[in-house]
Chains A and B, each alone.
Chain A
């Protein structure tokens, strides 16, 4: 699903936290790509993502999905997960099964789908554990498996690999790339990890103080001469 934002402004109590006007007043998130949103803390990344995911309304500006405004049908093809996910107070298995249950999946198919995800994310050992009592990494993997269970068309991820061990990061990146390749899943991911952004993203958007400074391919950002971007990249390169 193509997503286009036009002149988004978001104001919280008279403080403008997002102001997408001018050169990058329109942002285009092409279908089937993996889009990274990067930038310093408080630059408005989460706010932009929540607006695109239809979770909060912009103060002004519009978002279009394949040239249509948001509706329930579009909303239910997208999903959103963060590094501090809200898991339901039930087993890990039942958390992952939840989106399938409300979609009335047939029992056998549901079981098969959930089991595959448990195996893929290496969380089969905690399948029966209550999801409220998991470690950070386990929570994030459970939340991601749950978000992917119903095969959404668009996946929004807000720092999904923050505070996760390297092996799990690799596992998550592999899972994301696989779905992008095989199912054409459009992924929009906020990350603080620049090398991760270069590993998986096909397109990058850079925000700073609510303003978009860059939106293009990862190769091009390396050539950017904008001092803020330059500084950000040199600090995050290791």
Chain B
């Protein structure tokens, strides 16, 4: 049992030593997951809104597909991305395999359905009413889209934070397409997995604590938005 306690002591020492390698790993993780969340938002929010507010044949199928993709295992997505990016794959010529770009691509595929699914869900229900109401008041085209984004801004924030949470905490996809290359594609989760394999528990715990802190901060932001939405009274 001692190694757990020692692990924690060592972990705190590591964190406050501000090891440049650790800092670099944390920053790369944040960069990759922020980027993929950003792309996921740019794709998922407009698409989710568009599909949500329109009634069309096969809407149920779309919704079911979205839910399936929302819970797709990251390793499968990593594998899928790797097949396309590998040297002999259709996008092999770009030599993206084992680069941060590949990791961003894989995570974008991972988080887009999450963001899109949440937005789609709300746009289908409350979004329809908002669109109808906006139209009866004279909103057309772009007015409607702006109105909807503003009305769904709480939901969009929740979608964004949920997507980011999924990206920053997954290990399967970044491991496969990034390869955990030291100083280049190593991120927090692959670092933890590797050190754990090597029996270096204290560094694993240290990085685990950092990861948990980041998750805590993002979730606090989320909480702030949800609660903020309920307390919108202005004086």
Contact = CB atoms under 8 A, between A and B. Distances in A.
A102 interface: yes
Give the dominant DSSP class at A's interface.
Answer: mixed
B233 interface: yes
A99 interface: yes
A127 B137 CA distance: 19
Interface stretch (A14-22, A78-86, A169-177, A227-235): A78-86
A127 to B, nearest CB: 10
Interface in B110-160: 129-130, 132-133, 135-140, 143, 147, 150-151, 154
A85 B133 contact: yes
Given A88-B130, A88-B147, A89-B151, A146 B232 contact: no
B233 A72 contact: no
Nearest to A156: B136
B235 interface: yes
B132 A55 contact: yes
Contacts of B235: 128
Chain B interface extent, by class: 20 to 34
Contacts of A79: 136-138
Nearest to B229: A89
A150 B138 contact: yes
Contacts of A129: 233-234
B232 A86 contact: no
B56 to A, nearest CB: 15
Indicate the member of B130, B132, B137, B138 with the most A CB atoms within 10 Å.
B137
Interface in A90-117: 90-91, 98-99, 102-103
Contacts of A128: 234-235
Given A91-B234, A128-B235, A133-B232, A80 B136 contact: yes
A37 interface: no
Interface string A145-161: 01100100000000000
Contacts of A98: 137
Q: Would you list the 10 A-B pairs with minimal beta carbon distance, nearest first?
A: A130-B232, A86-B133, A99-B137, A86-B129, A80-B136, A102-B143, A76-B138, A128-B234, A79-B136, A99-B138
Interface of B: 129-130, 132-133, 135-140, 143, 147, 150-151, 154, 229, 232-235
17 contacts: A55-B135, A55-B136, A72-B140, A75-B135, A76-B138, A76-B140, A80-B136, A88-B133, A89-B151, A89-B154, A89-B229, A89-B232, A102-B137, A129-B233, A130-B234, A146-B137, A150-B138
Given A128-B234, A130-B233, 15 more contacts: A75-B135, A79-B137, A79-B138, A85-B133, A86-B130, A86-B132, A86-B133, A88-B133, A88-B147, A89-B150, A102-B143, A128-B235, A130-B232, A133-B232, A147-B137
